[in-house]
Amino acid sequence: MNNFASGRLNRYLGILLLSAFFISCASRKERTAQQQLNLVPFKEQVGAINLPVQIAAIKAPFPMPQLKKPSFPALSINIIAKGAKAGIMATKQIQQTIDDLSVRGGGTAIIPKGKWLTGRISLKSNVNLHLEAGAELYFSGEIEDYLPAVFTRNEGIEVMSLGACIYANGQENIALTGKGRLIGPAKGGSVRKRTMTTQVIEEFVALDKPVAERVYVGQNNSPILPPMFISPINCKNVLIEGISLENTAFWNIVPIYCEGVIIRGITVNSVGIPRGDGIDIESSKNVLIEYSTLSSGDDCFTIKAGRGEDGIRVNKASENIVIRYCLAREGHGAITVGSETAGMIRNLYVHDCVFDETGSGIRFKTRRPRGGGGENIYYERIRMSLKGNAFNWDMLGSSQHVGDLAKRLPARKINALTPVFKNIVAKNIVVERANQFVKVTGIPETPLSNVLIENADIKSDQLFTAADINGFTVRNTRIETKDPKISLIGSRELTFENVQFFVPGNILEVSARDAEAPKFIRCTPAGAISTLQ
């Protein structure tokens, strides 16, 4: 063989080897991607029934402290020792038990098996309020049992109100634990009859007054702001573990301005209760939520950071939050960011969770006058079977709440009340059923930006609708939908990379108004895309 032929053969062999290398790499990547999807949990593997005794190491794509359960002195006092009797209002005896323990350096206040009646309870430093198995704590339905007014935040605005059924302010090293049940304010009482339901809170609360003068406890037979179920405020080192909650009058578990919060093994049922959110983290940091099961009358797991001008005045973010091994059942949204976003929501990591028959799966809400927004938000290994959309951004809201600001156009001048969502990543996602894969209602002056959905297996009725995005990538994903339409308004830099579309007729239909056409890189179908204006 001459040198020329030998060179051609070597080049040919080199090309074959290089091709084999790339094919092998691609094959390994596909296997790795499928292995990651195989790790996505099923509902039987998450939620309160799987709660382990110990807290495993916390891992996150941002610096996150290793949170530990608070510890308490060995001293325990049963509320019966203070004179509590089942079936009779025991607020005084429960509070005396907690106060006595705190004064003596701390310990555990025990609520034994039985049915106990109470009004508002205030947790104190170094005390664990423990409900034994079979303990049922029933909260009063009357306003008078939640007086006097206490400092709190209601729907992102600071007020003096009824606070919460279980309340704490400025305490440290506190806990609410056990296998008992908490039942919210009795129906038919003044709490529920006189709850304000006719106005948005900005119109109801006198925002021009100092907070100390914003008192809403039903004076002169006026409407009230209902008590939350459990809400520590300005507290450090908080544990809420094992208990079940039902029949709340308002949001269930709401840490406000807290640092170092662990919520684990919680079961919530507030289905059918308007505004019956499951867990709302409000302007708090270093938070772990794990192995909890929520069935809610509104959103299940929610992250908030204050509302509008009052939230901007306070300017406290919700940050460094990990939600893992949780089960969202019935509710408007499984994991919701917003709609109160003034102080910013950042560094949220949700992983190894299941959304089973929830409304929307991964949900974002804000409004033009809410301020702040959300950034650096991560989702990984999530399984969804939904009644609504898998990914849903609603950044304009309705005219009922914000008037003409709910209209997309004209674009408004950016100011302190203009929110923005950016830097959002979702990886290793399985959507077994959804109404729509992605729906974005953005803000034209601050488009949704820098979003990545990667390695997902999607089954949905509808495909992709977006208004006002600027940088959104779907990569290494399989999408099976009944509707082949991608509809865009005012959108830029939408990219589908290595995406397999399974749509009727094997034809994608793209409608782009005042928008760039999306890019399709190594997608199938590759050449069967019709563009509609």
CATH number of the domain bearing residue 373 = 2.160.20.10
Q: Quick check: 19 pLDDT over 90?
A: no
The tens digit of pLDDT for each residue in 134-185 reads: 999 999 999 999 999 999 999 999 999 999 999 999 999 999 999 999 999 9
What is the distance of C-alpha 158 from the center of its chain?
A: 21
Residue 127 lies in a domain: yes
Residue 483 lies in a domain: yes
The tens digit of pLDDT for each residue in 420-464 reads: 999 999 999 999 999 999 999 999 999 999 999 999 999 999 999
DSSP string for 433-455: E-SEEEEEE-BTTB-EEEEEEEE
443 vs 31: which has the higher pLDDT: 443
Q: Which amino acid is at 287?
A: V
Read off the pLDDT of each residue in 196-204 and give the average, rounded to a whole number: 93
d(CA 263, CA 252) in angstroms, rounded, equals 12
pLDDT number for residue 6? 60
CA distances from residue 141 to 114, 120, 136 in whole angstroms, order as listed: 19, 11, 16
The tens digit of pLDDT for each residue in 305-343 reads: 999 999 999 999 999 999 999 999 999 999 999 999 999
Residue 202 lies in a domain: yes
Name the DSSP letter for residue 411.
P
Name the DSSP letter for residue 7.
H
Q: Which residue segment(s) compose the domain that 167 sits in?
A: 43-532
pLDDT number for residue 1? 55
Name the DSSP letter for residue 368.
T
Residue 468 lies in a domain: yes
CA angle 277, 283, 287 (to 5 degrees): 80
What is the distance of C-alpha 425 from the center of its chain?
A: 15
Read off the pLDDT of each residue in 265-278 and give the average, rounded to a whole number: 97
The tens digit of pLDDT for each residue in 366-418 reads: 999 999 999 999 999 999 999 999 999 999 999 888 999 999 999 999 999 99
Structural contact between residues 113 and 135, judged by C-beta atoms closer than 8 angstroms? yes
The percentage of the chain sitting over the pLDDT mark of 90, rounded to a whole number, equals 90
pLDDT number for residue 30? 76
Residue 35 lies in a domain: no
Closest CA to 48 of 263, 259, 212: 263
Residue 3 lies in a domain: no
Give me the phi and psi of 88, to 5 degrees please.
-120, 140
Residue 14 lies in a domain: no
The count of structural domains within the chain is 1
Reported confidence tier of residue 8, pLDDT bands at 50, 70, 90: low
- Give the CB-side neighbour count of residue 247, counting CA atoms within 13 A: 16
Residue 389 lies in a domain: yes
C-alpha distance across the termini of the chain, in Å:
62
